[in-house]
């Protein structure tokens, strides 16, 4: 029996209500971390560069961008990160 592709696996997993609910719950956090990494790369900055600008350690930036780190960042941290990459933070509710 051939192994399912990731697309097939995801479709099967998301057909389960509890998996779909958890996936949807985690989506905003995942998208935020992808956005942070994209902003840093577009600014041609390393994690070390961002850390220096923000007066912190590279390990803190690494945790901030990590998909496995479970703590939520402070709003002030996100604002500082945005400024370090030449952006402004806008919080919106939909």
Which stretches of the chain are DSSP H helices? 6-14, 17-42, 47-54, 58-65, 75-84
Split at pLDDT 50, 70, 90, the class of 72 is confident
pTM, 2 dp: 0.79
CA dihedral 35, 37, 41, 44 (to 10 degrees): 110
The 10s digit of each residue's pLDDT in 12-68 is: 999 999 999 999 988 899 999 999 999 999 999 999 999 999 999 999 999 999 988
Q: What is the pLDDT of residue 60?
A: 96
């Amino acid at each position: 029996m051939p192994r399912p592709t990731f697309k097939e696996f995801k479709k099967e997993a998301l057909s389960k209500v509890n998996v779909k609910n958890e996936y949807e719950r985690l989506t905003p956090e995942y998208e935020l971390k992808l956005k942070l990494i994209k902003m840093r790369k577009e600014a041609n900055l390393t994690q070390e560069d961002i850390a220096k600008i923000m007066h912190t350690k590279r390990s803190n930036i690494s945790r901030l961008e990590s998909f496995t780190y479970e703590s939520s960042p402070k709003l002030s941290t996100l604002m500082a990160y945005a400024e370090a990459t030449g952006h402004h933070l806008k919080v919106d509710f939909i």
